Structure 1
Amino acid sequence: MSEIKNHKEALSHPVFKIITQAASSLGIECYVIGGFVRDYLLKRGTAKDIDIVAIGSGIELAREVAKILPNHPKVQVFKTYGTAMLKTDGIEVEFVGARKESYREDSRNPIVENGTLQDDQDRRDFSINTLALSLSSKNFGELLDPFRGIKDLTAKIIRTPLDPDITYSDDPLRMMRAIRFATQLNFKIEEQSLEAITKNKDRITIITKERIVDELHKIIGSNKPSTGFLLLERTGLLPYILPELTALKGIDEVEGQRHKDNFYHTLEVVDNISENTDDLWLRWAALLHDIGKAPTKKFSKKVGWTFHGHEFVGSKMVFKLFKRLKMPLNDKMKFVQKMVLMSSRPIVIASDVTDSAVRRLVFDAGDYIEELMTLCEADITTKNPKRFKKYHNNFKKVRQKMVEVEERDHIRNFQPPVSGEEIMKTFNIKPSREIGVIKEAIKEAILEGEIPNEHKAAFQFMLDKGKQLGLVVG
């Protein structure tokens, strides 16, 4: 990590010179602080959002900047928080006046007073987010590091600037943020902070579900999500957020028969799938694919441990979980439900890959067959090399059979070769139960391979089925 105290090269974007000019005309000092500086020092790429702290009014500074910028962007003002935001050249710039904060026990919303840069750095969550670069013309680019943020960046440590017990109690969302940063950056949370998070875990209940989910999304979207979920479990936060996962933890033993720990298995699956997809909702499906195993777990002397119907139960639990966390109850939730419901289907047919089983799989999965296969392949967590290879070879057979069946039978996005209108016209009947019976019979005959998915064969099948139902060609 660079120890150079001046970083003018970080401020090469024209907007910084304009902010300097605006601050100078108002006679105030200002600094770029937080994530922009942190990510620059970590060489994580160019940030698309910039936080500016002004020793004075952040709102006035934002308005002055907007006047000077060529496109005169609109300034959004948030008076309650004393902040303002504008967008320019694809970058979001937020302005705030330096402030000090105090908190009430029942809210994470602080009581705010004007303050110094030191006050503003004191109130920040982690030492790595207190780093600031001066935008004053006299010392443009100078790094201010009052809480040894550079040292913590180098050591890959998440540490609070002040007493962690106070930091996390004041704003419990910081507990989630600590775990999220540790996961995203592959940093360690220092021991005192971990103890403080554990001590204050019940304070998470004052945080809105939307804020919690926002942090969960970032943990799930990281390269190795298990890091975050292991920290959530270790600190005791997980039962407050996702008790369905906590319920999977542990191994029961009866008469010498044990089952695997489904919590740790789940985290392996999520890590596996994260190597192959950035799809947030498919990663959610991996996280929730086994949640039905806790309520369906049973032991019998004949077969040992079973989890019958866990996919169906799990898919129902997805709805309740999404509703509780105020997540979208739309097509995204339905997608996760479908993945959970079908999560064992390819595994079941992999050892005996028949045409009819594959046709039904493709028919039921529809547009999501590729996502389902990706989930099932991630579900292979055996440490036995022979079994691992065998399972993957079986999935290759399923995939090959899917290609063959689709080329021949066109099952994906299936449309009946014979329409309801054609059935009514042929038998000269009005809308009735018989039409549904015939259409369902044609679909089943195609899926079972009794007839090809084409009009001529389906029409003849329709005539035969109609005859069985006592219908006469009109």
Structure 2
Amino acid sequence: MALPGIGPSLLALLAEQAAALGITKVALVGGAVRDGLLHHVHRDPWRGCPDLDFVVEGDAVALAEALLLRVGSERMPRLQTHPAYGTAELEIDGLVLDLASARRESYPSPGANPLVMLGDLESDLDRRDFSINAMAMVLGESSMEAGLIDFHEGSQDLEFRELAFLHPRSVADDPTRVVRAARYAARLGFTLSSDALAQVARGVQDWPWTWRSGDPANAAPPALSTRFRMELELLFAKEPWSHALQFLEDWGAFPLLDPQLQNDPRRMLRLRRAARLGLPLLPALLLGAGAPLQVAERLQLPLQQIRWLEQVQEIFMWLGSDAMQAPELSWTPVDWTESLELQGWSAEAVALAVAGSERHWRPLLRWWGRWRHLTSPKSAKTLIAEGWRPGPQLGTELKRRRRQVLERSR
């Protein structure tokens, strides 16, 4: 099966070098096989060069190092190996390849990181998320039909454009697979199979994990914390995220993150505002949670983003205070600017409050986009040249002049 942008000579080179080392099987796996079949068999448009992942029944690191000796550093300028994990990443002929020794895995408890050990190609495919990602093309075979390995009927699910989990406990073992399903559904135009939908529902309703919402954040298993965050970040960075989030809502899957996010009528408005303001979208999503800070700590968001969420809560409390609820409130740009800057809130926190606020978001937006940038018409350096001495009086004069500019602003 030819893939646009990937010459057959490269695949032949891999097969030849593997044979020279006595490696019996090297296979292209995962997204490249899926996208290739969608393109060649089902006439989907080519979505660009996919990740090129290869599984080696043998020593993947030795294969990568032998390739470098064979082709030289000019053709293969980068090689990074991880012998402890049996993996290698290399760049050859302008393409990035990942080689990994075949492995099998098991989950010691629901949501935990898997235990990994060496295996064969079948066991390596058996550990994957969906049937459409569990197909392989063995290099060196005479035809696509001869080289295709499909133990889980991925070809059939491609035809029906369905996402099917491989095992009855796929969601219980790794709930990040639900977010990944939303990513693929949005990107490929697929739906969850009926069995997969039922498994998502069981995962939410039965909650098989020892950790529950409200428990200490640092006790959450990786698949409900850091790995869950990474999948959400990929969803926002690489996918049609509005469609992906709609899938999560349609499947009733948001309680995996926070129950209050399941029925969040302001979610899309909040996220669209955040996108226009250039903010990371995950903190904006979490503003709809019952306890945004707890969810952020569980997901281990960057400390800066957690600080923004802390400040947004302070801003919301301030906006909800009795003084801010008066219907006749008619503050000037000076009033808003001085009040906001007195609190020491960061510009990003105020922008995040714009995304999430129902009241007074317009003056917050004007401060973020315009008022905070206004300065005295004359700089400190200019005033000193005119005879002002450095010190508190100069600072007061700069503030007075800036205030005059703000008074003329809208």
Q: Is residue 189 from structure 1 mapped to residue 197 from structure 2 by the alignment? A: no
Residue 118 and residue 53 in structure 1: after superposition, are their counterparts in 2 closer, same or farther (change >3 A)?
same
2:285 corresponding residue in structure 1 = 287
Length, aligned pairs only: 366
Q: Deviations over 1:128-176 (max 9, x none)?
A: 0012122115446733223221221222211123x322x3334443343
Mapping 1:114-153, distance limit 5 Å: 114-115=119-120, 117-139=121-143, 142-153=147-158
2:51 corresponding residue in structure 1 = 49
Q: Deviations over 1:270-316 (max 9, x none)?
A: 3x569x8695x35346535666xx68xxxxxxxxxxxxxxxxxxxxx
1:228 corresponding residue in structure 2 = 245
Residue 286 and residue 114 in structure 1: after superposition, are their counterparts in 2 closer, same or farther (change >3 A)?
closer
2:214 corresponding residue in structure 1 = none
Q: Deviations over 1:73-101 (max 9, x none)?
A: 44323233322221224432111223333
Separation (CA, whole Å) in 1 of partners of 2:13 and 2:277: 37
Separation (CA, whole Å) in 2 of partners of 1:129 and 1:12: 22
Residue 267 and residue 240 in structure 1: after superposition, are their counterparts in 2 closer, same or farther (change >3 A)?
same
Instruction: Pick from 164, 178, 190 the counterpart of residue 159 of structure 1.
Output: 164
Instruction: Pick from 167, 172, 175 the counterpart of residue 169 of structure 1.
Output: 172
Cα offset for 1:108?
Answer: 2.4
Stretches of structure 1 lacking an aligned partner (at least 5 in a row): 1-6, 251-262, 296-316, 349-353, 381-394, 451-474
Q: Does structure 1 conserve the Cα–Cα contact (< 8 Å) formed by 2:76 and 2:91?
A: no
Separation (CA, whole Å) in 2 of partners of 1:235 and 1:110: 30
Separation (CA, whole Å) in 1 of partners of 2:276 and 2:310: 15
Instruction: Pick from 17, 21, 32 the counterpart of residue 12 of structure 2.
Output: 17
Mapping 1:282-361, distance limit 5 Å: 282-284=280-282, 286-288=284-286, 322-330=296-304
Q: Which secondary structure state, in structure 2, belongs to the residue aligned with residue 180 of structure 1?
A: helix
Give the structure-2-normalised TM-score: 0.69
Q: Is residue 218 from structure 1 mapped to residue 231 from structure 2 by the alignment? A: no
1:178 corresponding residue in structure 2 = 181
Residue 158 and residue 288 in structure 1: after superposition, are their counterparts in 2 closer, same or farther (change >3 A)?
same
Cα offset for 1:206?
Answer: 1.7
Q: Deviations over 1:312-355 (max 9, x none)?
A: xxxxx56x6544422223489759978x969xx9xx9xxxxx9x
* Greater RCO (CA < 8 Å, at least 6 residues apart): 2
- In terms of mean alpha carbon deviation, does 11-20 or 123-132 score higher? 11-20
1:101 corresponding residue in structure 2 = 105
Separation (CA, whole Å) in 1 of partners of 2:284 and 2:194: 30
Sequence identity (%): 23
Q: Does structure 2 conserve the Cα–Cα contact (< 8 Å) formed by 1:168 and 1:196?
A: yes
Q: Highest Rg: 1 or 2?
A: 1
1:31 corresponding residue in structure 2 = 27
Q: Does structure 2 conserve the Cα–Cα contact (< 8 Å) formed by 1:103 and 1:111?
A: no
Q: Does structure 2 conserve the Cα–Cα contact (< 8 Å) formed by 1:86 and 1:93?
A: yes
Stretches of structure 2 lacking an aligned partner (at least 5 in a row): 39-44, 212-219, 325-329, 342-346
Q: Is residue 206 from structure 1 mapped to residue 221 from structure 2 by the alignment? A: yes
Q: Does structure 2 conserve the Cα–Cα contact (< 8 Å) formed by 1:359 and 1:411?
A: no
Give the structure-1-normalised TM-score: 0.61
Separation (CA, whole Å) in 1 of partners of 2:373 and 2:388: 29
Residue 229 and residue 140 in structure 1: after superposition, are their counterparts in 2 closer, same or farther (change >3 A)?
closer
Amino acid in structure 1 at the alignment position of 2:190: F
Q: Is residue 442 from structure 1 mapped to residue 401 from structure 2 by the alignment? A: yes
Q: Does structure 2 conserve the Cα–Cα contact (< 8 Å) formed by 1:58 and 1:97?
A: yes
Cα offset for 1:32?
Answer: 0.3
Cα offset for 1:51?
Answer: 0.8
Q: Which secondary structure state, in structure 2, belongs to the residue aligned with residue 8 of structure 1?
A: coil
Separation (CA, whole Å) in 2 of partners of 1:324 and 1:148: 36
2:327 corresponding residue in structure 1 = none
Separation (CA, whole Å) in 2 of partners of 1:264 and 1:360: 28
Amino acid in structure 1 at the alignment position of 2:99: F
Q: Is residue 65 from structure 1 mapped to residue 80 from structure 2 by the alignment? A: no
Q: Which secondary structure state, in structure 2, belongs to the residue aligned with residue 85 of structure 1?
A: strand
Residue 146 and residue 16 in structure 1: after superposition, are their counterparts in 2 closer, same or farther (change >3 A)?
same
Separation (CA, whole Å) in 2 of partners of 1:229 and 1:337: 28
Amino acid in structure 2 at the alignment position of 1:217: E
Q: Which secondary structure state, in structure 1, belongs to the residue aligned with residue 265 of structure 2?
A: helix
Separation (CA, whole Å) in 1 of partners of 2:400 and 2:187: 52
Mapping 1:68-79, distance limit 5 Å: 68-70=70-72, 71-79=75-83
